[in-house]
């Protein structure tokens, strides 16, 4: 059982002082799946991600990564993370796309080790995977938001993770490019077998790309395969979110309202 799940979360609860943000969450992410965790603003999505990334410690319940309890898990190289903040970096930074993606190898290479030919190859492959190979020598600041986000995904991919976690990756991506962006993610999942975990408030555009959906609003309101989700959805959204459904209704403002 455990060996099949990349992430296994059991009875997880978390509170900041008096506010309970997550209560009794159970999620399992099977190897090779593409899971979208959907929830309105303040639903505990970010807290859940921080817990999975080991930035916060579970107060109640368990998290297993690659079959290992998170407190003992050391192999963080297996996990690539693209933060929401990736697109709020200093756009005037004088670095080429190639240099940015190379920086994803920093930890893997380790101290006092230099970049070799084989690494150049890896950077090009990662850029190829996100469709940005031909922008390799452009300065990162010259690209559009969506292109920059692809570069950051390449930076996460270059160290060859088995699991890629993305926090609201389409913030800052032009509306007309969102679809092709998700398409690229789906390709990473299907063709390269990378397990994807994506956090978003926007289920509309993505539901035909993901294999699993989890609806979060402090509690887990739904967790299962996408087909199951669609069936439930046609019967009305409110059962997933209770009272907070209105927050989702104005989806895709892409103005940074959802942080």
Partner 1 sequence: MIQGIFQYEFLQNAFLTGILIGFLAPLLGVFIVVRRLSLIADALSHVTLAGIAASLLLEKYFVALSGLNPLYLGMVFSVGGSLFIEKLRGVYKHYQELAIPIILSGGIGLGVIFISLADGFNTDLYSYLFGSVSAVSRTDLWVIFVISIVVVITVILLYKELFLLSFDEEHAKASGIAAKSIHFIFIIMVALVIAASMRIVGIMLVSSLMTLPVAASIRIAKGFKQTIFLSIVFGEIAVLGGLFSSYYLDLAPGGTIVMIAVAILVFTIVYKKIMIKNHVSQGGAAG
Q: Which residues bind partner 1 (CB under 8 A)?
A: 53, 55, 76, 81, 83, 85-86, 89-90, 92-96, 98-100, 102-103, 105-107, 109, 111-112, 115, 137, 139
Residue spans of alpha helices (H) in the chain:
45-52, 97-102, 106-109, 117-129, 145-157, 175-192, 226-234, 238-241, 245-249
Pick 21 or 53: Cβ nearer partner 1? 53
Q: For residues 213 and 35, is the Cβ–Cβ distance under 8 A?
A: yes
Query: Least Å distance between CB 156 and partner 1?
Result: 9
Contacts of 233 (CB under 8 A, 6+ apart): 207, 240
Q: State the number of CA atoms in the 13 A half-sphere of 147 facing the CB.
A: 15
Query: Least Å distance between CB 106 and partner 1?
Result: 5
Query: Least Å distance between CB 150 and partner 1?
Result: 16
Pick 93 or 242: Cβ nearer partner 1? 93
Query: Least Å distance between CB 199 and partner 1?
Result: 16
10 three-state secondary structure: strand
Gap between the Cα atoms of 257 and 259, Å rounded: 6
Q: Evaluate the CA torsion angle 90, 92, 98, 99 in order and state its sign.
A: negative
Beta pairing, strands 19-30 & 195-200: unpaired
Pick 95 or 237: Cβ nearer partner 1? 95
Tally the residues of the chain. Answer: 259
Pick 137 or 249: Cβ nearer partner 1? 137
Query: Least Å distance between CB 98 and partner 1?
Result: 8
Pick 76 or 222: Cβ nearer partner 1? 76
């Amino acid at each position: 059982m455990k060996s099949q799940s990349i992430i296994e979360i059991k009875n997880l609860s978390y509170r900041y002082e008096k506010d309970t943000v997550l209560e009794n969450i159970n999620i399992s992410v099977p190897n090779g799946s593409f899971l979208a965790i959907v929830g309105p603003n303040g639903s505990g999505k970010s807290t859940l991600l921080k817990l999975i990334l080991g930035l916060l410690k579970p107060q109640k319940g368990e998290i297993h990564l690659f079959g290992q309890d998170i407190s003992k898990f050391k192999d963080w190289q297996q996990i690539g993370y693209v933060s929401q903040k990736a697109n709020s970096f200093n756009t005037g930074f004088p670095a080429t796309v190639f240099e940015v993606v190379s920086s994803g190898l920093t930890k893997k290479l380790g101290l006092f080790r230099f970049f070799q030919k084989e690494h150049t190859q890896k950077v090009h492959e990662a850029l190829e995977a996100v469709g940005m190979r031909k922008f390799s020598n452009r300065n990162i600041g010259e690209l559009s938001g969506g292109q920059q986000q692809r570069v950051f995904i390449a930076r996460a991919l270059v160290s060859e993770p088995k699991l890629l976690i993305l926090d609201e990756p389409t913030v800052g991506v032009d509306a007309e490019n969102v679809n092709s962006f998700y398409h690229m993610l789906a390709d990473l999942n299907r063709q390269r077998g990378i397990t994807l975990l994506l956090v978003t408030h926007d289920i509309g555009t993505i539901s035909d790309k993901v294999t699993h959906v989890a609806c979060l609003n402090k509690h887990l309101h739904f967790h299962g395969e996408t087909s199951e989700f669609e069936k439930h959805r046609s019967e009305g959204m409110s059962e997933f979110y209770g009272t907070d459904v209105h927050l989702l209704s104005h989806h895709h403002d892409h103005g940074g309202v959802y942080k």
